[in-house]
Structure 1
Amino acid sequence: MSLQIRGQVISTEREDGTSFMAPDVLLFRYPREQITSKSIFIVQPQENCVVVIQGQVQAVLPPGTHNIQSPQNPLSNFLSRFRYNQLPFDTIAFFTSMTRHEVRIQGKSQTDDLVPLDYEVAVYYRVTDAAKLVTNIQFSGLFFKDGELAAYLAPVVDQEVSSILNQVKLVDVYKKFSDISTAITAALKQFLAEIGVELISVRVTRLIPEDPELRRIIQLRDLGLEVERAVRMGLARILTEQGNPASVNMAIGMPYYPNLATLVNLPQRLLQFSMGSEKGESNEQSKPQGS
């Protein structure tokens, strides 16, 4: 009776049924100390597995089950070519997600009239060449996620957005949505193709002034109000939040006289007396000193 040791299963699936490949994970590096010559690679339908041995890509395994020791296998061919009895210790398996992914890239820019703007761009993509992606990015942990790819793309997006916004006035910014999307698409398509990623589409999801008060004024203007009236309404809202009674006058565009307004609620006799005393004092002050 012989004792046979069961080979290690190399997969992204955990024993409890969950997966290492979360929706935001592009690459998962399997711990290399668990990869042996009796290992069986199980690649899920939405994945590819890139096997790197001694710093070189030796195989890109498609979805399915792959036994290292089976004939006509890229890894078994590698072992037979170098007459190895087992896989070297520096064998690394990278599981790559081949599904559609999305990242949101945020940043700041400014217009030609120096108005700061906040922007957000949604980028949709998928990996088409897993080996090229593995050889063109660098990460230190077990996972390479969408957020880390967004850090790669952020300088490219910022350059394209600023190249357009820096040359237009604030009133013309929202006419440039299509130009911004076209410029970002052209730049990212070439950049992502170099790392084995296909760009699906680009969409500008937010382009607003950094100042919240200026955003509200633009909203009122777009509702049909004149710019001057929109500014008054914005200032009236601020005065209302402060409890300032001048907010109504600001909204209707009328002057506000706080000293006269305090006399409105006084009794009639007291009002007459106050006005009469003020008048008498003014007459006495106007008399010559010699009279």
Structure 2
Amino acid sequence: MSISIRGQVISTELDNGSSAMAQDVIIFRYPKENITSKSIIIVQPTEKCVVVIQGQIAAELPPGTHNIQSPANPVSAFLSKFRYNQLPYDTIVYFVSTTRHEVRLTGVSQTDDLVPLEYEVAVYFRVQNPSLLITNVQFGAQFFRDADLAAYISPIVDQEVSQVLNHVKLIEVFKKFGDITTAVTAGLKTFLSEIGIELISVRMIKLIPQDPELRRILQLRDLGIEIYDAVRLGLARLLAEKSDPASVNMALGIPYFPELSTIVVSGAPYTTTGVMLGNQGGNTPGGQSSGGTNPSLFQAAIKQVFGDVKTSGTKNDEQ
């Protein structure tokens, strides 16, 4: 910004025609070295201007053109009170946006059954009292943006969201959107009003489990699939990604025994028909006597554990 041409004009307009008040800018601090006693402050229709002299708020200027030396100007009244002929060096001019702004806050909370949930909340607001906002926020840069305010109010939002979610089971979480919105609105309305900001509305945008597999299972359940079938389909997908042949059986809910032609019990090999292989009635390859095991008892045990297996080597699953 040229001192020789625009040094006496304090505004958010830049030399290239653009504005320093971007869409996400809440407060713009004008460089104080460009301020002189003959300066003219131009405030745009979507802004208000706060003039701070030696740590005190001297004026809050509405939209329009303001000549500092004009007797009706509050800055001039401030100077005459202290008998200043020109602006002190430590004079700061803040331009504050009065348009509607939106910030989005994200975080992670958990339900009563310790399921981590990701949430996203949209907060809509506008600055109601620029002077109060200037005295309550701290920023070291030239701009105070929506992201800075989001970081400022994030603990309040997280607290209100957690107070609802921490007492709700996962299966009832999605019925609590209204309760969460009400809690966040109540908490933010009080907090923001204390720093000069008017809360317009709060909207709950996202509330989903942090685990992607659990999200897919809940989506299948919402499509009308029973919860146990939804879990099985989720496991089937994981098996399919690993090229495991049991994935089809998992999806269908059918047992899968890849190699059940021979089962070894206590060192003695048996077929699925209950016939002992090899040295019948003698010592087994493990060195122990078979002791005349009853094949029918063995078949009953196999059926109890694995189900009714009719043929060996059939791809029938494992859960």
TM-score, structure 1 length as denominator? 0.89
1:244 counterpart residue number: 244
1:284 aligns with 2:278: yes
- Secondary structure (helix, strand or coil) at the match of 2:191 reads helix
Number of aligned pairs? 270
Given that 2:105 and 2:154 are in contact with CA atoms closer than 8 Å, whether structure 1 keeps it comes out as yes
- Once the two structures are superposed, the pairs formed by residues 248-263 of structure 1 within 5 Å of their partners are 248-259=248-259
**1:208-237 C-alpha deviation (Å, 9 max, x unpaired):** 111000000000000100000000111111
Which residue does the alignment assign to 1:185?
185
CA RMSD of aligned residues (A): 2.0
How far off is 1:77 after superposition?
A: 1.3
Q: Which residue of 1 aligns with 2:14?
A: 14
2:221 is equivalent to residue 221 of structure 1: yes
Instruction: Name whichever structure is richer in helix by fraction.
Output: 1
Which runs of at least 4 in structure 1 moved beyond 2 Å after TM superposition?
4-7, 281-284
Q: Kindly indicate whether the alpha-carbon contact (under 8 Å) linking 1:7 and 1:38 is maintained by their aligned counterparts in 2.
A: no
TM-score, normalisation: structure 2:
0.81
The secondary structure found in structure 2 opposite 1:285 is coil
Aligned to 1:214, the other structure's residue is in SS state: helix
Matching residue of 1:268: none
For 1:73, the aligned partner's letter is: N
CA-to-partner distance for each residue in 1:183-215, whole Å, 9 max, x for gaps?
110110000000110000001101111100000
Give 1:32-181 correspondences, 5 Å limit.
32-181=32-181
Which residue is equivalent to 2:265? none
Q: Contact (CA 8 Å) 1:118, 1:208: kept in 2 or not?
A: yes
The one of the two structures with greater contact order (alpha-carbon pairs below 8 A, sep at least 6) is 1
Q: Distance in 1 between matches of 2:278 and 2:181?
A: 76
Q: Please give the alpha-carbon distance, in whole angstroms, between the structure 2 residues aligned to 1:191 and 1:278.
A: 73
Counterpart Cα distance in 2 of 1:5 and 1:166: 60
Residue by residue over 1:24-50, the C-alpha shift from the partner in whole angstroms, topping out at 9 and shown as x without a partner, is 110011111111111111111100000
- State how far apart, in whole Å, the 2-side matches of 1:172 and 1:7 are: 61
- Distance across 2 between alignment mates of 1:283 and 1:253: 32
The Cα of 1:282 is off from its aligned counterpart by 4.7
- Paired with 1:80 and 1:197, the residues of 2 have a C-alpha distance of 32
Shift of 1:278: 11
Distance 1:224 1:285 in 2: 55
For residues 37-93 of structure 1, what are the alpha-carbon distances to aligned partners after superposition, in whole Å with 9 as ceiling and x for unaligned? Answer: 111111111000000011111111111111111221111112222221110011100
SS at match of 1:207: strand
Q: Distance in 2 between matches of 1:133 and 1:150?
A: 14
Distance 1:113 1:125 in 2: 34
The answer to whether the 8 Å contact 2:49/2:95 transfers is yes
Cα pair 1:124 1:202 within 8 Å, conserved: yes
Structure 1 residues 288 and 38, CA, compared in 2 at 3 Å: closer, same or farther?
A: same
Write the letter of the residue equivalent to 1:285.
N
Q: Which residue in 2 is equivalent to 1:207?
A: 207
CA displacement, residues 250-280 of structure 1 (integer Å, 9 cap, x when unaligned): 001111111269xxxxxxxxxxxxxxx999x
- Are 1:28 and 2:28 counterparts? yes
Segments of structure 1 that go 5 or more residues without pairing to the other structure are 262-276
Q: How far did residue 128 of structure 1 move?
A: 0.8
Shift of 1:9: 0.9
* Aligned mates of 1:17, 1:245 — CA distance in 2: 66
